[in-house]
A and B are shown apart, each in its own frame.
Chain A
Amino acid sequence: MDTLTILQHYWWFVISLLGALLVFLLFVQGGQALLPCLGRTEEDRSLAVNALGRKWELTFTTLVTFGGAFFASFPLFYSTSFGGAFYVWMAILLCFVLQAVAYEYRRKPANLLGRRTFDVFLTINGILGPLLLGTAVSTFFTGAPFTVDRLNLADAAGGAGVVISQWATPWHGLDALANGWNLVLGAAVTLLAMMLACQYFIGSVADDAFVARARRRMLPCALGFAVCFAAWLVRLLFATGLAADPATGTIVAVPYKYLRNFLEMPFVAALLLAGVVAVLWSIRLGWRGSRRAVGFGGGGTVASVLALLLCAGWNRTAYYPSLVDMQSSLTIAGSSSSLFTLRTMAWVSLMIPFVAAYIAWAWRAIGRRPLTREELDGEGHQY
């Protein structure tokens, strides 16, 4: 492997890790989706919102960094998917805007819209955020209808509207919703987020009645997630994938490509297996009311999603298959930044362990003692 290829794989790993962390941190959204059933009284609702409120900015920041890192390392994906699947990305952005203001404003006097409106904003973001992100991520495997021709720039004069990456349908991303398997992964991510949220509440709220409700809610979410995810995974293992031919570089269809990837990269398969086992174990711990459940659930989620995204991009796989022009499909080799930029960014990425360390410190410092009802009446900052 030459340096460029190593860096392309390294950056796909970094992107995958950020994506995996994002899916775990979507537990904030999961908690927001559960607000109507977990927050029966105003006090319960405030308890849930304030427990989640200590983490929402971390999820938000991970989403922003995921986008920025994707842009820096694989700009052709950024320009193709974001500019093409316009409606889906706009819907995702819109529902995250609603979230960003809701925590801070919901209980502030003179907020014009009333607390209930901001709580509805949280619920909308809680359901639509994971659902749409899961659907969008599923297109890494199921593909999208786009074409790419970089030399279209030669014809772009005079407002001709000839762009490098074009969407072949007028649906601009809504087509992803027409594929049932995308929705299945969307549903799986939503239910996983809810399950993780229950585990988070078990670990970070000191209120027996509330925690008992979270424990009860966790089981149906876990069951629903397991069914959706298992169905999607089985279908993936039997699916035909696209890959770059090692000799010619052209994109060819490979039957059972994702199954082959797991067999040819056993460490990725092991990671997936370990992740799934950890998630299953977390369900057991959560049902027993253990505060460690979210650690296993979160760790398992990160491992599983990381393995799936590595499977999507490594081993010459087309991580963004085109449904209308196979050769337009994006591989990490064909869509990455230059060697210079990847190398520069690799230096920057050395900061990530340092960032992870201070996040871990802050998480422990703030969450050392579970949130109590009394704390909501204190003089501290409240949502």
Chain B
Amino acid sequence: MDYLQTVDWSRAQFAMTAVYHWFFVPLTLGLSVLAAIMETLYYRTGDVFWRRTTRFWMRLFGINFAIGVATGLILEFEFGTNWSNYSHFVGDIFGAPLAIEGIMAFFLESTFIAVMFFGWDKVSRGAHLAATWLTAVGANLSALWILVANAWMQYPVGCRFNLQTVRNEMTSFWEVALSPVAVNKFFHAVASSFVLAALFVVGVSAWYLLRRREERMARGSIAIASFFGAVFAVVTAVTGDRSGAVVARVQPMKLAAMEALYDGEAGASLTVVGLLRRDRADDDGPFRFRIGIPKLLSWMSFRDAESYVPGIRDLVAGNAERGILSAEEMMARGRKAVAELGRYRAAREAGDRAAMAAVERKFDPAAPEGEEFLREYFAYFGYGYLESPAQTVPNVPLLFYSFRVMVGAGVFFIVLLAAVWWLNRRGTLASARWLLRLCVWMIPVAYLASQAGWAVAEAGRQPWAVQNLMPVGVAASKIPSASVGTTFFLFLALFTVLLAVEISILLRQIRLGPDGAEIPEPEKL
């Protein structure tokens, strides 16, 4: 019982750390690129205005970067401290992207960030520009590798189970690195981060325009950020659409939960807005009200407007007509696969080589019985640990609303950023004060949308730590739940304080503007 509480606390701790981490990462990813673009303009034109502008945004980048690094460290080590079984079971695959991230990306980022901040008068202009771009490349490369790792948990490919070591082992690095989930996830997460950073730059610049301060810098920054943001908002939408199509194929339960689709249908409609019933009464359907677009969900999922999209009930109870196994059936098959491990251990302890060899053949893809066992039973290994079919259903309201916040905000950002770019280009933006105020308010909305995206991705794959292979319930370390509870509150308090500090410093630096930003308070000297 205590172990189950430990699992819950570990989930809470990891989710909390990830949420805090993601407060800082998207701005780092996007602002590094925007600062590099601005410095490129300085390099090409020699206009000190761009140097001043670049340095202002770099200062805000630095304030944000530090705390992203801190929360990132915790996340990496929490795989070991809180998810010990997981680390063993899939460490052979999952550890590699983490190590590559360190070797390829973190050193690049941390080395050149020092040159970027301290090298203005120590290296040539060209070398400094290269350092700024390499910092941006390093930041985005680190996103690539951690997203590859995350994608593998959602869609475990390029591996096979090794009975001798009782773990999954990598068989194809490129299948892991270039899986459709990984590719879409990377472009979607990075593009959406660029949009968030663009909205941050536009919002802060809009604040200056409202105050009639730093107007040249604000307009110059908006010109770059709004164009950059609008382009990547479109990329976000396109990659989001592709992600949806991949999810329909590899995580159908996540898609059904996102849409609150309880009963599968051919030609399924996409809900644009809707309000869910609290009790999910069967007779009345799950919605209090709903506006949908006919056939769009089917088309987006399978590129066929008449295709069948399975619902939550189909995936739990099974649908023989559509060839969907029930959760109960998958659990039974999973239990058989898990039981083979028990048989193997008993045979090994008894020294029964014939019995050991029989189990080994089942896990050997080259042996005929192995091929069948791996396909029909081991594929559902993780289901063997579940106790009821209901566990296979994620939190529907959380997914449903998070998805709509993400998509709604994302579509609005395309329109907003395009409009801001156009008005700024015509020189009439400063007089559209309502729009400037809206831009300021869109900064928190961008963060909300970004977090909502991760809520869809992560809460949507519950109960799985690794899709179909390992539920979170058996992935955790065995530590007293009170200990994990304690570290949860410790980190919660620390991160909350540091977030407050970061926001306070950022707001002060923005208020001080590009010239006053580096002046420490006299009494603090």
Query: Which A residues contact B (CB, under 8 angstroms)?
Result: 42, 54-55, 57-58, 60-61, 63-69, 71-73, 75-76, 78-84, 86-87, 89-90, 93-94, 96-97, 100-101, 103-105, 107-115, 150-151, 153-167, 170, 172, 337-338, 340-341, 344-345, 348-349, 351-352, 355, 358-359, 362, 365-366, 368-369, 379-382
Contact = CB atoms under 8 A, between A and B. Distances in A.
Contacts of B521: 109
Contacts of B498: 97, 101
Contacts of A113: 497, 501
B103 interface: yes
A333 B521 CA distance: 57
B291 interface: no
Interface in B450-474: 473-474
Given A57-B114, A104-B66, A166-B478, 20 more contacts: A57-B110, A61-B107, A69-B102, A72-B91, A78-B80, A83-B83, A86-B479, A93-B74, A94-B494, A97-B70, A108-B63, A110-B507, A154-B345, A338-B165, A341-B93, A341-B96, A341-B170, A348-B103, A355-B107, A380-B118
Given A71-B87, A153-B338, A380 B121 contact: yes
A84 B477 CA distance: 8
Contacts of B165: 150, 338
Contact of B483 (A108, A111, A172): A172
Given A64-B76, A150-B88, A151-B345, A107 B474 contact: no
B88 A76 contact: yes
Contacts of A107: 520, 524-525
A86 B477 contact: yes
B84 interface: yes
A344 B81 CA distance: 26
17 contacts: A54-B118, A57-B114, A61-B110, A68-B100, A71-B99, A94-B491, A109-B508, A110-B505, A111-B504, A112-B500, A115-B524, A153-B338, A157-B335, A161-B6, A348-B100, A351-B103, A362-B114
Can you list the 9 inter-chain pairs with the closest CB atoms, starting with the nearest? A75-B91, A83-B84, A82-B80, A161-B3, A65-B102, A83-B477, A72-B95, A100-B70, A110-B508
Nearest to B168: A338
A330 B304 CA distance: 54
Given A72-B98, A362-B112, A156 B70 contact: no
Contacts of A72: 91, 95-96, 98-100
A227 B388 CA distance: 61
Nearest to B120: A380
Most buried by B among A60, A72, A348: A72
Given A154-B339, A344-B96, A366-B122, A101 B88 contact: no
Q: For chain A, what secondary structure do more than half of its interface residues adopt (helix, strand, loop), or is it mixed?
A: helix
Contact of B91 (A69, A71, A349): A71
B101 to A, nearest CB: 6
A73 B173 contact: no
B79 interface: yes
A90 B115 CA distance: 31
A42 B525 contact: yes
B117 interface: yes
Contacts of A366: 114-115, 118-119, 122
Given A68-B102, A76-B88, A105-B505, A96 B479 contact: no
B33 to A, nearest CB: 19
A145 to B, nearest CB: 14
B512 interface: yes
A344 B173 contact: yes
